[in-house]
Amino acid sequence: MLINERDTRRERLLQIANDMMTAARTAPKGKGYDIIEVMLITDDSIKVLSEAMLKYSEQTGLKFITRDAENILWASAIVLVGTRTQVHSLNCGYCGFDTCAQKNAFSEVPCAINSVDVGIALGSACAVAADRRVDSRVMFSVGRVVQELGWMPGCSNIYGIPISSTSKNPFFDRVSKTPAT
């Protein structure tokens, strides 16, 4: 039997993406609260996301989102990691308020521990990508537009990790086809 790597690339990348989702799910979480949400997008959903990112870039004037929108089209899959908001009642002050009760009056302010949980989950997922030698990059822009699309209801602090398997990582040394103005 002869198997060309190119013929099995997608299947292998999807398995790695599943392993990345498992790593994000099992990452340590503040006070043990399971508030992390993980999702995988592929195929036409990546194209829909790219188009939405282009529109968002135009609306906001954030040109780097145009570059990222073009860039994710190289991905075979994108792992999304976000958090549902839950105050941990630690009164740590990391959110900028002295107590969680003060913070609760401003529900749009995320609990800092939620943000840390997302960071740990992202690190765990990226470690799998690195261990398996796939191209990846954490992208704030992907998560911001996913939040706008409502694909992860009730979540904030969403980030995307596009993955690919090419001879050169398409997510670094990137140049947008759209000139910055």
CATH of the domain at 71: 3.40.109.10
**Is residue 122 assigned to a domain?**
yes
Considering only residues 105 and 47, tell me which one the structure prediction assigns the higher pLDDT.
Answer: 47
For residue 12, is it within any domain?
no
The verdict on residue 67 lying in a domain is: yes
Phi-psi map region of 178: left, alpha, beta (phi>0 left; psi -120 to 50 alpha): beta
Return all residues near 18 (Cβ < 8 A) that are at least 6 apart.
40
Instruction: Specify if 93 maps to a domain.
Output: no
Per-residue pLDDT reduced to its tens digit, 126-176: 999 999 999 999 999 999 999 999 999 999 899 999 999 988 888 887 666
The span from the CA of 158 to the CA of 65, in Å, is 15
In a domain, 172, yes or no: no
Please check whether residue 9 lies inside any domain of the structure: no
The mean per-residue pLDDT over the stretch 32-52 comes to 96
Q: Encode pLDDT of 79-96 as tens digits.
A: 999 998 888 888 888 888
- Which residues constitute the domain of residue 128? 21-81+114-164
- Region 88-114: mean pLDDT is 83
Q: How many domains does the chain have?
A: 1
pLDDT at 181 over 60: no
Over its C-alpha atoms, the chain yields an Rg (Å, rounded) of 18
pTM: 0.90
Is the pLDDT reported for residue 178 higher than 70? no
